[in-house]
Amino acid sequence: TLFLFFSLGTGSSILSALQDLFWLSKSKVEKQLQIISVLQWVLTFLIMGVACTLILMYILCTDCWAIAALYLAWLVFDWNTPKKGGRRSQWVRNWAIWRYFRDYFPIRLVKTHNLLTTRNYIFGYHPHGIMGLGAFCNFSTEATGVSQKFPGIRPYLATLAGNFRMPILRDYLMSGGICPVNRDSIDYILSKNGSGNAIIIVVGGAAESLNCTAGKNSVTLKNRKGFVKLALRHGADLVPVYSFGENEVYKQVIFEEGSWGRWVQKKFQKHIGFAPCIFHGRGLFSSNTWGLLPYSKPITTVVGEPITIPKIDNPSQKEVDFYHSIYVDSLIKLFDKYKSKFGLPETEVLEVN
């Protein structure tokens, strides 16, 4: 399979084999591998869950039904594993495919402060973008060296709980250290998994993805306070994270408030948990055509200074609001400090909605 192809051997051995086979230059082979690596992830994001469910149902209707039945039995037995820290695999996180994925854009992780292994953390990741490409590459793989930059810290990228009800996809996500973004999962990691844990929450979620557009830096944060309350209940430090370039890799059709398109998107968001976006990137064979591949624009993820949070079992709304305001101020300061270093003008302002 495509996954095994990229996980076996080193990147250099793959390049050598393809060069010998197709007589291509090293740079052309590298570019093609980068495109393939990103394409497989985009397809995984969009269709893997549904595809695996349909395939499993089909196998149940064939002579190989026993294989599907055994997996379903395992699924029942293993159902609560995502809520208990998952089942990460360093082998999967270190696949060569993720290095090609990183280099396609390229994606870079910037550390600004050390993190203590004696503390737990909640990273607030901004902005969501269409697919959260920077969040995935930086925290669910080792392509940008997160374990080397933050030794002793175990990152858990939180995503929709519905993904973990999909066969095969759930196991694939867990192997990268991805967990459901629900209270049970987060409570377990922050209270029963020791210290040195960092849960990455894309705070703006689906609502933020509806407004992401190239050239615009805005976050949905004013009324997003649940992650602050969780931090207070567990005494987990808050860390603002901003990804410069996350909104640049796709172009989206933005529906105005009150339009039929926005109404449909909000209904999906309310009842299913995600909002369907109409977007496009570049084509598979040409950057001048439309397609599912993101544009190869640099994404730089800056991890800010941790905000020390006290442990309060039942924080009041006043306490939540107080630390939320500190967090918002810290995020804005982080954005202002690094915006000019990553291609934005000094006059650029982070819009907080």
Q: What is the pLDDT of residue 8?
A: 46
Rounded to the nearest 10 degrees, the angle between the axes of helix 96-104 and helix 26-43 is 100
Q: What is the pLDDT of residue 1?
A: 43
Share of the chain above pLDDT 70, in %: 91
The domain 25-342 is placed in CATH, from the list 1.10.10, 3.40.1130, 3.40.190, 3.30.460, at: 3.40.1130
Listed range (142-156, 207-221, 236-250, 318-332) with the worst mean pLDDT: 207-221
Digit-coded pLDDT (tens) for 159-206: 999 899 999 999 999 999 999 999 999 999 999 989 999 999 999 987
* Assigned token pair, 140: 């669910």
Digit-coded pLDDT (tens) for 305-342: 999 999 999 999 999 999 999 999 999 999 999 999 99
Q: How many residues does the chain have?
A: 353
With left for phi above 0 and alpha for psi between -120 and 50, is residue 192 left, alpha or beta?
alpha
Of 105, 130, 134, 133, which Cα lies nearest the Cα of 213? Answer: 130
Do residues 29 and 21 touch, judged by C-beta distance below 8 A? Answer: no
pLDDT tier at 107, thresholds 50, 70, 90? very high
For tokens 């793959």, what's the residue?
Answer: 14
151 has pLDDT over 90? yes
What residues have CB less than 8 Å from 22, skipping those under 6 apart? 29
Give the whole-angstrom CA distance, residue 125 versus residue 123: 6
Digit-coded pLDDT (tens) for 24-74: 677 888 999 999 999 999 999 889 999 999 999 999 999 999 999 999 999
pTM over 0.85: yes
Strand partners, 200: 123, 157
Strand order across the beta sheet in which 290-291 lies: 251-252, 279-282, 290-291
- Domain ranges for the chain, please list them: 25-342
Can you tell me the mean pLDDT for 256-276? 72
CB atoms within 10 A of CB 349: 12
Angle at CA of residue 224, ends 42 and 308, nearest 5°: 100
Give the whole-angstrom CA distance, residue 60 versus residue 68: 6
Q: What is the rounded average pLDDT for all residues in the chain? A: 90
* Assigned token pair, 22: 């197709």
pLDDT tier at 273, thresholds 50, 70, 90? low
